[in-house]
């Protein structure tokens, strides 16, 4: 795994703590996946659903190329 591309998350709460946590998770998860060379990484606290969605999408993509 050399790159994880994703759409920029959109949130209705721009500037809020929730938006900040979502943005952090969407940056952390791809980096963690690349470092681990696996989609089996931890979720970001406070952004569990966003983290789980990113991880599930990567697992789906990987299953299609194997």
Model confidence at 35: pLDDT above 80: yes
Mean pLDDT along residues 21-42: 88
Distance of CA 8 to the CA centre of its chain: 10
> What is the tens place of the pLDDT at every residue in 39-53?
999 998 888 888 898
What whole-number distance in Å separates Cα of residue 42 and Cα of residue 29? 8
Query: What is residue 43's predicted lDDT score, i.e. its pLDDT?
Result: 92
Mean pLDDT along residues 16-37: 83
């Amino acid at each position: 795994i050399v790159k994880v591309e994703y759409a920029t998350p959109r949130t209705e709460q721009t500037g809020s703590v929730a938006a900040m946590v979502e943005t952090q998770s969407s940056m952390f998860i791809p980096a963690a996946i690349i470092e681990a060379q696996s989609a089996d990484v931890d979720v970001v606290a406070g952004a569990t659903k966003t983290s789980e969605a990113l991880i599930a999408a990567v697992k789906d993509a990987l299953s299609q190329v194997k």
